[in-house]
């Protein structure tokens, strides 16, 4: 399968490298020193058990790549407008764009521009980061992609993409109700990202303090209420399960949005707590905690205010 990765950083680089090792014709869309390193030395993938170097095509210009069978959209959500426009030369009548970004509606810019029939929303479960230009480090045993059709149901292309992922060593599930999956992940990441970014402190420092634990729990329950009012059939005790998972793994709880604000980078605020506020307004559900998080962080959405 001809596959391109639009945004071959940590997560995109890992999945793109694995797909290349699986025998697919992969092109990584990257830039700067990361692109230079991939072109010169290949892409290094380091896991807990082994290290491999992947040789595959890499470019900063999607027009050079040509039409693809599958495009993984893995850029940060605040780059969507630019990314969707620039990836157009890679999208033909038979191309599927698999969106693996944070959020419940992050796939919409691509779907609006290219059509629902070309786009499949998905969720990536993996801990990965860049050790340096051209080097991706994946840690832990959790590696999985879940994806599905925008309007649900089964499809031949979905089964084909799942087989391609699995044959490349990437556990995958073609989900007939992907929106339920997106919201279940969203409850966790939006709560952790929003509260820790607002506090400028990791969850391990917040949860032992009763005043902050109430904020975290309230944020989580608020998002669950919005999801249910939006028609999402979540598990009965989904918030309780997420809270228990957080408390049992506090040392490993790190939100990328928290890291971004501490490093002075732009924030995926619109895709996370901003999306809660928008969905709450649409469903008629008050979102005071997420509204406060959104309002307080809005000045930092594009980086530190001047």
Q: What angle do CA 175, 54, 57 make, to 5 degrees?
A: 85
Q: What is the mean pLDDT of residues 213-230?
A: 98
> Model confidence over 20-40: pLDDT tens digits?
999 999 999 999 999 999 999
Residues 6+ away with beta carbon under 8 Å from 278: 105
| DSSP SS3 for 14 | helix
The model carries a pTM of 0.93
Cβ 168 vs Cβ 93: under 8 Å: no
| pLDDT computed for residue 77 by the predictor | 95
On average, the pLDDT of the chain sits at 96
pLDDT of 252 > 90? The answer is no
pLDDT of 188 > 90? The answer is yes
Q: What is 2-176's CATH superfamily? A: NAD(P)-binding Rossmann-like Domain (3.40.50.720)
CA distance 102 to 18: 21
The confidence band for 76, taking pLDDT boundaries of 50, 70 and 90, is: very high
> Model confidence over 104-121: pLDDT tens digits?
999 999 999 998 899 999
> Model confidence over 257-297: pLDDT tens digits?
999 999 999 999 999 999 999 999 999 999 999 999 999 99
Nearest in space to 169 (alpha carbons), one of 55, 24, 281, 269: 24
Burial classification of residue 247, based on how many CB atoms lie within 10 Å of its CB (0-12 exposed, 13-18 middle, 19 or more buried)? middle
Q: Are strands 172-174 and 51-54 parallel, antiparallel or unpaired?
A: unpaired
| pLDDT computed for residue 306 by the predictor | 82
The confidence band for 53, taking pLDDT boundaries of 50, 70 and 90, is: very high
Cβ 160 vs Cβ 75: under 8 Å: no
| pLDDT computed for residue 241 by the predictor | 96
- Residues pairing with 128 in the sheet: 138
Cβ 95 vs Cβ 68: under 8 Å: yes
Annotated domain spans of the chain: 2-176, 179-300
Pick the CATH number of 179-300 from 2.60.40.420, 3.40.50.410, 2.40.10.10, 1.10.1040.10: 1.10.1040.10
CA distance 15 to 292: 35
For 217-273, strand residue ranges (E) read none
Q: What angle do CA 34, 37, 40 make, to 5 degrees?
A: 150
**In the chain, what percentage of residues exceed pLDDT 90?**
97
């Amino acid at each position: 399968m001809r596959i391109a990765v639009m945004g071959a950083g940590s997560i995109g680089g890992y999945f793109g490298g694995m797909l290349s090792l699986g025998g697919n014709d992969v092109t990584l869309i990257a830039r700067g020193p990361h692109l230079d390193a991939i072109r010169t030395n290949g892409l290094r993938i380091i896991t807990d058990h082994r290290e491999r170097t992947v040789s595959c095509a890499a470019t900063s210009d999607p027009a050079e790549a040509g039409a693809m069978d599958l495009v993984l959209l893995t850029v940060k959500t605040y780059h969507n407008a630019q990314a969707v426009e620039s990836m157009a030369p890679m999208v033909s009548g038979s191309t599927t764009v698999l969106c693996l970004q944070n959020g419940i509606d992050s796939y919409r810019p691509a779907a609006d521009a290219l059509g629902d029939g070309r786009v499949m929303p998905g969720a990536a479960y993996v801990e990965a980061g860049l050790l340096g230009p051209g080097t991706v480090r994946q840690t832990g045993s959790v590696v999985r992609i879940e994806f599905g059709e925008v309007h649900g149901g089964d499809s031949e292309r979905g089964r084909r993409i799942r087989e391609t992922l699995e044959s490349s060593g990437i556990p995958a599930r073609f989900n007939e109700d992907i929106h339920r999956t997106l919201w279940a992940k969203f409850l966790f990441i939006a709560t952790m990202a929003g509260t820790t970014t607002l506090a400028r402190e990791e969850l391990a420092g917040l949860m032992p303090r009763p005043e902050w634990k109430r904020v975290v729990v309230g944020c989580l329950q608020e998002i669950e209420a919005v999801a249910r009012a939006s028609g999402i059939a979540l598990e009965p005790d989904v918030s309780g399960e997420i809270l228990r998972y957080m408390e049992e793994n506090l040392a490993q709880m790190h939100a990328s949005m928290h890291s971004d604000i501490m490093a002075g980078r732009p924030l995926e605020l619109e895709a996370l707590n901003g999306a809660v506020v928008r969905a709450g307004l649409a469903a008629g559900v008050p979102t005071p905690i997420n509204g406060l998080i959104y309002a307080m962080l809005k000045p930092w959405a594009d980086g530190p205010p001047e």
